Structure 1
Amino acid sequence: MKTSKMCAIFSNQHEYSRLKPLTDERALSTLYFAGKYRLMDFALSSIVNADINHVYTLISQEKVRSYLDHLGGGKEWGLDTIGSYEYLDFYQNLMRRRSRGENYFDDVIFFLKTCKMPYTVFIGNKMAANFDLKAILHFHQSNDNRITPVFKRVEKDNLAPDDHTFVLSDNNVVTEQREAIELTSEGSFNLSANVYVMNTDWLIHELEKAQKSGASYDVSERLAALAVKEKANAYEYTGYLRNIHDIPSYYQANLDMLEKDKRDSLLYGNQKIITRIRNEVGTYYDKESDVKNTLISTGCTVKGEIKNSIVSRRVNFAKDSVAKNAVIMANCKIKSGADVEYAILDKNVVIEKGVTVKGKPDSPVVIKKGSVISKDFVLD
């Protein structure tokens, strides 16, 4: 049996109003990505690839169904095996306990003490990235850090307002952290990837101190501040990373997967990305279909034209239908003569015969889950 020196805290805290209506009924981490994946697959796969099978998950209780629907019993990620330990908690519990003056980190601390692992990794839910946690742990040990934050050098358009950025010395020591909303200059910035590797005993001590002083229940915020306090050596992540926080960032991250170098970096590197297994038939391509530069998942029927698009499972494209520069989620139907361009179709959407749905390259139109579109929907 593989063993690890780490346990993991998987934080599903981030939710953004600018991702609505896609996140009306689902957590950000369960958004479809590159057809068959969900965003949570990247964090969970990074955890599994580091041989970690003790996972503490924090999630919003309003969105727990979508998370559990995808996770199932955790079989694909090895979280159902003998010796694994999976714990689910809600951020609302931390908020309520703190408001009542109770010890709001006690469950996290209990998890860390129960696992008895010398190191803990904290990882967030909104980065489409493939982290090698073993390499980060080695860096952490080599630098004799108590906490090792992970950063990525990005342009400003890859930042969300609540992201943390680091000011680093010449040898990548964290000297300061700032929220992205405070940044006024242009250029590139050291984005916190919301991944931290820590000494577990030290983390337990810091969480105990935090709740005694009534500090914020936001673990990520606390860790960013501690990275500055400890003058930690930061680990630079150099692979593909897209920060998902609004509709344009989600749309572009999906279309990035049509570029081979980005797709290979994220999905087909040394670290395998694991997702929920679906046993279904392959996709059927009619002899008159025309498909170019498109990722199509299993179970689809294609009789129309598809170009530069990402297509999830069980989507039906009727004869003479057209889809270009589109992100199409599961179980959609594009009927005969329909034209879909620069659009995101959520699950179970039906585009009726002859209807045009068209957005813009920098502003894709979003069709809500389960909608039946019988009239043209074109952004001016």
Structure 2
Amino acid sequence: MKTNKMCAIMGNEHEYNDLLPLTENRPLSALYFDCKYRLMDFALSNVVNANIRRVYVILNEGKVKSLLDHLGGGREWGLDSVGSYQYLSFFGDIVQKKLNGKPYYCDVIDFLKKSMSDYTVFIGNKMLCNIDLKAVLRSHQAQNATLTTVFKRVPQTKIAKNDNVLTLDNENRVLNTAKFGNTALNNDLYNLNLNIFMAKTSWLIEALERGEENGAPASIEDFLLSQLGVVETYAYEYTGYLSNIYDIKSYYDANMDMLDPEKFASLLFSSQKIITRTKNEVATYFSEEAQVKSSHLATGCVINGSVQDSLISRMTLVDQGAKVDHALVMSNGVIKKGAVIRHAILDKDVTVDAGIKVIGTPNHPYIVAKGTHVTSDLIGGELK
């Protein structure tokens, strides 16, 4: 497939208070996942695996440092090669232009025209999946659809109130869409919209120009949602692994899922590779006293204690007699002698003093904010 067959718009507007304090200083897209990845790696890998090299990224102001630090020049994803084109835009600027009565889709329309691409895919930032966008394109072409959206059948426990669910006919034509919070709860499974859309670029340019004249939403995602069922829309069913990240529990569970070999392989070792930024570091060191079971560990760690059913990010120390159980420990953590971490999430640069306990529950993992020095027991964490 030629490199300009498709271009991509990556939306990063979604933010949830229920993910605080983990998203206090970083966007949802920059959250750690399975020790070495960030959530943005999945959307970005889906894009580049489809041989897309022209990407428009919408960011939220005030939370860009961690995302840009991770993205760098885009070398790992091949976005620094000849013919690649990256454009960064701030969602706040789009909103402000609309409030001031100015053309607010102008930058994205300019990108679409310069991309010279036949098709455009929009992909959001909260659905963790490994999807073949080339297959979505083939379905879009076969159906001769104006707009194609992607969905997965999931139980209500995997859906946030402001997520959109679809009503489909027998041919997967979209009849209606509604916020899940406004839906009667009488089904075992719901058609969850994954915030992935496919359209001809020429149609999208014209639709955005018309929408701008009629006061369409500033969010490209919301605009595309408003078109579902209004224009000829078909839904493509995704059947692979999915995690919908919208609160602490969903984020914690998604990470813990990676300790299940079947789910791990489905997401990270399918026919498509998930790409992340590489780190040139020494391997993790395990002392003779170390006890590690059913866990994932990144590079540069020193493990002298016990780690079970946990995910440990890079450059973390688990000292002698310390126990880490069903926990997520982000980079540069220090777990001193005899400390106990259970059902907890430790953000970056957290130090837990010797003998201290940090204990939550499976449904309410205890959250320790970035840079915290824990000097007394923290028991019975609650969702924020």
State how many pairs are aligned: 380
Structure 2 distance, partners of 1:344, 1:260, is 21
Structure 2 distance, partners of 1:212, 1:225, is 15
For residues 326-358 of structure 1, what are the alpha-carbon distances to aligned partners after superposition, in whole Å with 9 as ceiling and x for unaligned? Answer: 011000000000000000000000010000000
Secondary structure of residue in 1 paired with 2:81? coil
Structure 2 distance, partners of 1:55, 1:215, is 23
- The corresponding residue for 2:154 is 154
- The corresponding residue for 2:119 is 119
Deviation at 1:185, TM superposition (A): 0.7
- Judged with a 3 Å threshold, the aligned counterparts in structure 2 of structure 1 residues 2 and 206 are, in CA distance, closer, same or farther, namely closer
Deviation at 1:231, TM superposition (A): 3.6
Aligned residue identity for 2:86:
E
Aligned residue identity for 2:209:
E
2:8 maps to 1:8 = yes
Structure 1 distance, partners of 2:143, 2:275, is 31
Deviation at 1:183, TM superposition (A): 2.0
Secondary structure of residue in 2 paired with 1:233? strand
Verify the 8 A CA contact 1:4 1:50 in the aligned structure 2.
Answer: no
- The corresponding residue for 2:169 is 169
Calculate the TM-score normalised by the size of structure 1: 0.98
- The corresponding residue for 1:307 is 308
Deviation at 1:374, TM superposition (A): 0.8
For residues 203-242 of structure 1, what are the alpha-carbon distances to aligned partners after superposition, in whole Å with 9 as ceiling and x for unaligned? Answer: 0011001110111112112212212112412100000000
Secondary structure of residue in 2 paired with 1:62? coil
Verify the 8 A CA contact 2:4 2:54 in the aligned structure 1.
Answer: no
Aligned residue identity for 2:220:
V
Aligned residue identity for 2:45:
S
- The corresponding residue for 1:188 is 189
Aligned residue identity for 2:207:
E
Calculate the TM-score normalised by the size of structure 2: 0.97
Structure 1 distance, partners of 2:146, 2:119, is 9
- 1:251-262 to structure 2, matched below 5 A, reads 251-262=252-263
Aligned residue identity for 2:369:
K
Structure 1 distance, partners of 2:2, 2:175, is 37
- The corresponding residue for 2:199 is 198
Verify the 8 A CA contact 2:145 2:232 in the aligned structure 1.
Answer: no
Deviation at 1:69, TM superposition (A): 0.8
For residues 103-146 of structure 1, what are the alpha-carbon distances to aligned partners after superposition, in whole Å with 9 as ceiling and x for unaligned? Answer: 10010000000011010000001111111001101111111112
What's the C-alpha RMSD, in Å, of the aligned pairs?
1.1
- The corresponding residue for 1:264 is 265
Structure 1 alignment gaps of length 5 or more: none
Aligned residue identity for 1:64:
V
For residues 73-128 of structure 1, what are the alpha-carbon distances to aligned partners after superposition, in whole Å with 9 as ceiling and x for unaligned? Answer: 11111111111100000110111010011110010000000011010000001111
Aligned residue identity for 1:124:
G
Structure 2 distance, partners of 1:226, 1:326, is 42
- 1:256-335 to structure 2, matched below 5 A, reads 256-335=257-336
- 1:216-231 to structure 2, matched below 5 A, reads 216-231=217-232
Verify the 8 A CA contact 1:175 1:231 in the aligned structure 2.
Answer: no
2:374 maps to 1:373 = yes
